[in-house]
Amino acid sequence: MADHVQVVTTTDSEESAAELARGVVEARLGACVQVVPIRSFYVWDGAAQDDPEWQLQIKTSSGRLDVLIGHLKAHHGYDVPEIIVTPIVGGNPDYLTWVDEQTTPASP
């Protein structure tokens, strides 16, 4: 896998997106979380849904991925949260170094 990834998840409100994003950054599981309002169409409980959602785009180092996924599952409001991981295969080396610095666990 690549050294860096972008993880995407969605929430049902701007407030829950902000709370989840803040928790990810404060826990040093993601260097940056961008929250974007979107409209989602999907089938849930046998019925077509059309809902506003807020998408979180989380940039992190691959070494923090398993802990990040665990954090998202534990703090997410959905029964089955979307968690999709996309490798970052290139980018600004200075930015990717910053991602590494921000996702390195703090010393005790």
Stretches in the chain below the pLDDT threshold 50:
none
- CA–CA separation, 84 and 90 (whole Å): 18
How high is the pLDDT of residue 39? Answer: 98
Q: Tell me the two tokens of residue 107.
A: 């010393």
How high is the pLDDT of residue 107? Answer: 73
Give the pTM: 0.94
How high is the pLDDT of residue 106? Answer: 79
Amino acid occupying residue 101 = E
- CA–CA separation, 50 and 32 (whole Å): 28
How high is the pLDDT of residue 57? Answer: 98
How high is the pLDDT of residue 41? Answer: 97
Let me know: does 29 contact 60? Beta carbons within 8 Å: yes
Q: Tell me the two tokens of residue 40.
A: 């989602």
Let me know: does 83 contact 69? Beta carbons within 8 Å: yes
How high is the pLDDT of residue 2? Answer: 85
- CA–CA separation, 31 and 68 (whole Å): 11
| DSSP secondary structure letters along 9-66 | EEESSHHHHHHHHHHHHHTTS-SEEEEEEEEEEEEETTEEEEEEEEEEEEEEEGGGHH
